[in-house]
Amino acid sequence: MVSVQRVKIIARLRPPIPGELSDDGIKITTTDDGLSAICVNNPRDQSQVFRFLFSSCYGHDARQEDIFEADVKPLIDVVYSGATATIFAYGVTSSGKTHTMQGTRSQPGVIPRAVEALFDYKQRMCVHGASVSVSYMEIYRDEVYDLLVDRETAPKLPVRENDAGQVFVANLSSLPIQDVTEFNRLYVTANKQRSVGSTFLNIASSRSHAILTIEIKLPQQNKILTGKINLVDLAGSENNKLTGNDPSRLQESAAINKSLSVLGQVVHALNQGASRIPYRNSKLTRILQDALGGSSVGLLICNLAPGVKFRQDTLNTLNFAVRTRNVENKPVINEKDARPVPKPHFSAPPPPPPKQVPLAVVTPVSGSSRASFVVSRTAASGVTSAAGPSRVPRISAAFHMAEAAPYPRTGKRRESRIGIAQEHYSVNKWTNQEIDDKISKAVEAEVERRLKEKMEEMERQRVADEKERSRKEVAIADTGEDQPHEGGHHNLHSNVLAPLLKRHQDLDNELRQRLQDLERKYDRNKRDGDIVHKLSPMSRKKTGRAYVALARTHSEKCAPKRSQCDIPDIASRGDLQVALDLYRKAETYVPDNIKLKERIIEIEYAVAHGTEFRPSPKRGKGRKARQGTQARGANMKLALNAIPERHDNDDESNEEETIVSLLEAGPTATVTFGMEVVNSPN
Ligand SMILES: Nc1ncnc2c1ncn2[C@@H]1O[C@H](COP(=O)(O)OP(=O)(O)OP(=O)(O)O)[C@@H](O)[C@H]1O
């Protein structure tokens, strides 16, 4: 069994910055049993105080090194064990996320310190042969850009998933670094490319989420371990009334708030144990998937700003943090076989997928003893790459932080000073169109190959099955007895289309051909998973729809209206099973369709219990039906527009409700997730 580890949460309160008043409404306290807590006055009732307990809480006087030594340094050992660690800074705009992650020259933050500690470990522990590389991306308006290449030519990068289900950004450059100096040079240049703009609340506000990854390859006997640390500086949630965003900023702000809203939904779904986690709803959650309910060790730094104007956002941030605390990861060691691969024969089968290997306990060797990390092993799979389309110019206010910033943040266009990155890029300069063409060609070629292989065999099989079926029908008609049905999903590949083709003899050739292709595709079963991701959303939808149509034909055969049929029950159950298989197939193409899920559950029940299944009547395409669809669409839009106001709200656990229920619960009541409301000392 793989061991489970919760995301660790720490909170940091920044000091008031020039122009801000000091604030007594938010402070750090320590409980009798030595735990630290953030106490926040209820903005609507000053006599009440909300208290949030975390593993570490840092006040306005906390130093960068305090945070690093206590909570970040233990993760360096995790990286050298071959696992992935992800640290992300979360909080409202201007709460100090960038200060915490990046810092200043005099007060370097988590990122420069982590890099220094990684090289220090390598030297101290005499890790031979380890190679270190860095990649750095930003997610701006839900598009991914490489910060290590010239911003003028940087294309949008696609997010993909490999055979092992690992999400990666295709064509993101990964540059080798030998030491801290080399890293600093790259990092300073890259930060100049990050999208930064000025708002009322922050003169250098990040307009994008930035993810810096340091990867360490550790060669061992016959294998290579890959340790990774992802350092994420999220953009802050924004209240446009406070930030005074002009129209050009509003779109950025909407994208930031939407992605943070999806992050909240992902955390909520994980807490609820939902069967579907909406990772795919934003690039941010897709890329951070591994850190949220995945195989990475997670640390969330929750940044808080003092001041009454931030109070509601502070409570939202803390509620999000409290919920994230329950997110469980299953850390694994990424290892890859390093033995030379024999030259593949063209007809050789594809290599087997990565295997899970037994658990190993990794205890920090250096630094604080506050953390010990249990990780299991899995082999990392190779990552292929493709490129995205060319970069569209974006709006980013030029802003140069004065001498205070060692890692200047400016949106000003510059010549890239990162030669290696450009060189790396030119090798793989494909346009989106080219990628799509390559993928479609590969898919077509695969279909063609299998089609040729199977054509004859399927034809023979179909004829044989038809004969067998007629023989059984005659036998049943003769004896009137139930016979075991051998059809169903076992010979699905030759029977799937039969009812539809019989019913529609007049189908035109093109449609027949399409359905037959589908039947063959259906036969490819496990390979579909790969193909789904290679299809465009529209093709996925179309294929899903075609499967649903087929499934419906089979499920209708079992409907009660057909009970007058000569061979009711036996054939019906088989058909229902076929329908179920087809509906499941459809689900792989349209995994988000709730109706489809419900249908599958209903049929599963009917198949398992041998009960009747009554398909719902087909929806007409009349005006009423269309109006219904439009109204649903409009409601959906309204809902989406409402989200940015409070980014992690949802039906069952929005902060407003939590707070209201807290108030109703009265003083000293202990409520959800370890958060308490207590009487103010005053
Ligand atoms: N611990 C701290 N000590 C001193 N100054 C701080 C601290 N934290 C933040 N600041 C200052 O507060 C201001 C806002 O911080 P920062 O830019 O890091 O916020 P942010 O959360 O990254 O904002 P945004 O989401 O808008 O990018 C900066 O001027 C920064 O120097």
DSSP result, 463-520:
HHHHHHHHHHHHHHHHH--------GGGGHHHHSSHHHHHHTTT--HHHHHHHHHHHH
pLDDT for 542 equals 84
Single out the residue of 314, 260, 299, 311 nearest to residue 283, CA to CA: 260
**Ligand 1 pocket member 303 (CB < 6 A):** yes
Pocket lining: 472 vs ligand 1, CB cutoff 6 Å: no
Higher pLDDT, 654 or 465: 465
Q: Residue 92, annotated ligand binder?
A: yes
pTM of the entire predicted model = 0.57
ipTM of the prediction greater than 0.85, yes or no? yes
* Whole-angstrom distance, CA of residue 89 vs CA of residue 259: 15
Ligand 1 contact via 285 beta carbon (within 6 Å): no
Nearest atom within ligand 1 for CA of residue 196: 27
**How large a percentage of the chain has pLDDT more than 70?**
59
In order of 15, 22, 448, 570, the CA distances from 19 in angstroms are 12, 10, 69, 80
Query: Can you tell me which residue has the tokens 């060692």?
Result: 406
Per-residue pLDDT tens over the stretch 310-363: 888 899 899 999 888 888 888 888 888 777 666 655 555 555 554 434 334 343
Q: Which one of 167-171, 344-348, 571-575 scores highest in mean pLDDT? A: 167-171
**pLDDT above 90 (res 640):** no
Q: Compute, in angstroms, the gap from residue 544 CA to the centroid of ligand 1.
A: 48
Residue closest by Cα to atom 23 of ligand 1: 94
Cβ 197 under 6 angstroms from ligand 1: no
Q: Give the pLDDT confidence score for residue 456 in this predicted structure.
A: 76
Ligand 1, atom nearest to 199 Cα = 26
- Give distance in angstroms: CA of 339 to centre of ligand 1: 48
How far, in Å, CA of 284 to CA of 235, rounded? Answer: 11
Give the separation between CA 263 and CA 209, rounded to whole angstroms.
Answer: 12
Q: Tell me the per-residue pLDDT of 257-281, one tens digit each, with 9 for 90 and over.
A: 888 989 989 988 888 888 899 999 9
CA distance 582 to 546: 10
Q: Which tokens belong to 309?
A: 């104007």
Convert the pLDDT of each residue in 487-525 to its tens digit.
333 334 445 555 555 555 444 555 666 666 666 655 554
Residue range 419-464, pLDDT digits in tens: 333 333 333 456 666 666 777 677 677 667 767 776 777 778 888 8
The angle formed by the CA atoms of residues 161, 343 and 223, to the nearest 5 degrees, is 60
> Is the minimum distance from the CB of 535 to ligand 1 under 6 angstroms?
no
Residue 181 clears pLDDT 90, i.e. is over it: yes
Using a 6 Å cutoff on CB, does residue 109 contact ligand 1?
no
CA distance readout (Å), 539 to 64, 248, 515, 534, 536: 50, 34, 15, 10, 5
Would the annotation count 363 as a binding residue? no
Strands (E), 393-489: none
Q: How far is the CA of 91 from the centre of ligand 1 (A)?
A: 11
pLDDT of residue 465: 82
Q: Name the average pLDDT for the chain.
A: 71
Nearest atom in ligand 1 to 233's CA: 22
pLDDT of residue 596: 84
**pLDDT value of residue 549:** 84
Residue 257 CB less than 6 A away from ligand 1: no
Cα 13 to middle of ligand 1, angstroms: 10
Ligand 1 centre distance from Cα of residue 92 (Å): 10
d(CA 314, CA 320): 10
Residue 585 Cα to chain centre, angstroms? 23
Q: Is 180 annotated as a binding residue?
A: no
User: Cα-Cα-Cα-Cα dihedral of 84, 89, 90, 92, to 10°?
Assistant: -160
Mutating to test ligand 1, I would choose from 13, 99, 101, 201 the residue with most ligand atoms within 8 A of its C-beta, which is 99
pLDDT digits (tens, 9 = 90+) for 365-410: 333 333 334 444 444 333 323 333 333 333 333 323 333 344 444 4
- Ligand 1: atom nearest CA of 101 is 18
Pocket lining: 204 vs ligand 1, CB cutoff 6 Å: yes
Is there an atom of ligand 1 within 6 Å of 235 CB?
Answer: yes
Give the DSSP per-residue string, 606-673.
HHHHT----PPPPPP-SHHHHHHHHHHHHHHHHHHHHGGGSTT--TTT-HHHHHHHHHHH-TT-B-GG
Q: Find out whether the beta carbon of 91 lies less than 6 Å from any atom of ligand 1.
A: yes
Q: Measured from the CB, is residue 202 less than 6 Å from ligand 1?
A: yes
Is position 96 annotated in a ligand binding site? yes
Taking residue 69's Cβ as centre, other Cβ atoms within 10 Å add up to 16
Q: What pLDDT was estimated at residue 147?
A: 93
Sheet of strand 45-54: strand arrangement: 26-30, 36-42, 45-54, 676-679
Closest residue to atom 8 of ligand 1, CA basis: 96
Give the per-residue pLDDT at 428.
45
- Ligand 1 binding pocket includes 226 (Cβ within 6 Å): no
* Mean pLDDT calculated for residue range 68-96: 93
| Beta carbon of 99 within 6 Å of any ligand 1 atom | yes
CA–CA gap between residue 90 and residue 324 (Å, rounded) = 11
| Distance (Å, whole) CA 648 – CA 404 | 33
Beta bridge partners of 374: 361
Using the mean position of ligand 1's atoms as its centre, give its distance from the Cα of residue 101 in Å.
Answer: 10
- Tell whether the model's pLDDT for residue 532 goes beyond 80: no
Ligand 1: residue whose CA is nearest its atom 31: 99
Mutate to test the pocket of ligand 1, among 10, 88, 93, 98 (most ligand atoms within 8 A of CB): 98
Angstrom distance (rounded) from CA 579 to CA 331: 38
Helix locations, 273-338, DSSP H: 283-287, 311-324
What percent of the chain clears pLDDT 90, i.e. is strictly above it? 25
CB of 237 within 6 A of ligand 1: the answer is no
Ligand 1 contacts CB of residue 25 (under 6 A) = no
DSSP state of 103: B
Which amino acid would we find at residue 257? N
Fill in the amino acid letter for 390: S
